[in-house]
């Protein structure tokens, strides 16, 4: 009996020993997994970029600020005078040059002389407006920065005969006269008022001359400021 008991004890010890290494092996795996997880967390610093493949967040909002207009107040009125006179001077000058090149067929000498003379006067008016701007410390107007300019130039490009040039001249100088007449009542500086008072009747005379050459009966406008451009027509 004693020998059997001892034998049973020996069998019991032998049955338990294989289980201990297995439990120790599994415990070791768990410890390694925990260490690896901690190492992975430690590798990613707070605020670091997301790993590759992670969707990026929305981009920061952007804001745009509209550029302030170059001319305000009295300067905007002067700039409008310079721009509208500059447009008339340039367009009528191109019409006169094209007439001299035979672009519009046989143009009577009186029409060519009218176009070139009117163009020169409008160029001089634009220069006078710009001198007032420069005297006030404002930049001079370059070209004809007006919303109406593209349509006027398209009309010149479409002209085929002297009658087209005269019709364009009548309408364009009429716009100049109405605009400058309106400016006369808005300007406050003595020099600017005097310039507007001199420019407006000259532009009106050009319109009347173009109408006469077209055979239109002379008429006085019911409203001399009808069709005038405002400072909102400036593109600067």
Segments making up each domain of the chain, as ranges: 74-140+147-233
Which residue in 72, 84, 77 sits closest to 187, CA to CA? 77
More confident call, 45 vs 150: 150
pTM, full prediction: 0.72
SS3 146: strand
Average model confidence (pLDDT) across the chain: 82
pLDDT tops 90 at residue 21? no
More confident call, 232 vs 42: 232
Q: What is the pLDDT of residue 61?
A: 59
Q: How far apart are CA 171 and CA 177, in angstroms?
A: 10
pLDDT tops 90 at residue 127? yes
Residue 97, judged by CB atoms within 10 A of its CB (0-12, 13-18, 19+), counts as middle
pLDDT tops 60 at residue 4? no
pLDDT tops 90 at residue 177? yes
Q: What is the pLDDT of residue 146?
A: 98
pLDDT tops 90 at residue 56? no
Query: Which of 31-40, 56-65, 170-179 shows the lowest per-residue confidence on average (mean pLDDT)?
Result: 31-40
CATH T-level topology, domain 74-140+147-233: Ferritin (1.20.1260)
Q: What is the pLDDT of residue 70?
A: 79
Dihedral of alpha carbons 25, 31, 34, 39, sign: negative
Q: What is the pLDDT of residue 8?
A: 44
| Average confidence (pLDDT) over 124-153 | 97
């Amino acid at each position: 009996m004693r020998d059997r008991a001892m034998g049973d004890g020996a069998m019991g010890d032998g049955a338990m020993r294989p289980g201990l290494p297995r439990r120790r092996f599994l415990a070791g795996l768990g410890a390694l997994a925990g260490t690896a997880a901690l190492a992975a967390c430690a590798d990613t610093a707070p605020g670091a970029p997301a790993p590759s493949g992670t969707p990026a967040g929305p981009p920061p909002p952007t804001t745009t600020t509209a550029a302030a207009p170059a001319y305000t107040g009295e300067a905007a009125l002067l700039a409008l005078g310079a721009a509208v006179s500059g447009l008339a001077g340039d367009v009528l000058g191109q019409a006169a040059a094209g007439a001299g090149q035979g672009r519009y067929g046989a143009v009577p000498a009186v029409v060519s002389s009218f176009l070139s003379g009117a163009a020169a006067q409008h160029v001089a008016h634009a220069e006078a407006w710009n001198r007032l701007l420069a005297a006030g410390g404002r930049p001079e107007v370059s070209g004809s920065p007006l919303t109406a300019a593209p349509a006027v130039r398209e009309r010149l490009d479409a002209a085929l005969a002297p009658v087209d040039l005269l019709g364009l001249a009548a309408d364009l100088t009429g716009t100049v006269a109405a605009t400058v007449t309106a400016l006369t009542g808005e300007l406050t500086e003595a020099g600017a008022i005097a310039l507007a008072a001199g420019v407006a009747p000259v532009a009106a005379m050009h319109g009347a001359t173009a109408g006469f050459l077209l055979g239109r009966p002379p008429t006085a406008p019911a409203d001399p400021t009808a069709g005038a451009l405002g400072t909102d027509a400036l593109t600067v």
